[in-house]
Amino acid sequence: MSSRPKRNQHIDSFLANLRLEKGLSTNTINAYASDCRSFVGWVESVANADILSLDEKLVETYLTYFQSQGLARSTINRKLSSIKHFYLFLQKKKLISFNAIAGVTGPKNVRPLPKSMSESEVESLIQSPDCQTFIGLRDRAMLELLYATGVRISELTNLQYSNIDLNRSLIKVMGKGNKERMIPFGENALSCLLDYINFRRANNLSLSSRDFFISQQGKQITRQAFWHRIKQYLSKTGLSPDISPHTLRHAFATHLLNNGADLRSVQMLLGHSDLSTTQIYTHIAKQRLSEMVKKHHPRG
Q: What is the DSSP string of 12-43?
A: HHHHHHIIIII---HHHHHHHHHHHHHHHHHH
d(CA 113, CA 288): 12
Q: Which residues have a catalytic role annotated?
A: 152, 176, 246, 249, 272, 281
Cβ(226)–Cβ(152) under 8 Å? no
Can you name the residues that pair with 254 across neighbouring β-strands?
none
d(CA 83, CA 253): 32
Residue-wise burial string across 116-153, b where 16 or more C-beta atoms lie within 10 A, e elsewhere: bbeeebbebbbebbebeebebbbbbbbbbbbbbbbbbb
Smallest CA-to-CA distance from 134 within 221, 210, 73 is with 221
Q: Is the dihedral of CA 108, 178, 254, 234 positive or negative?
A: positive
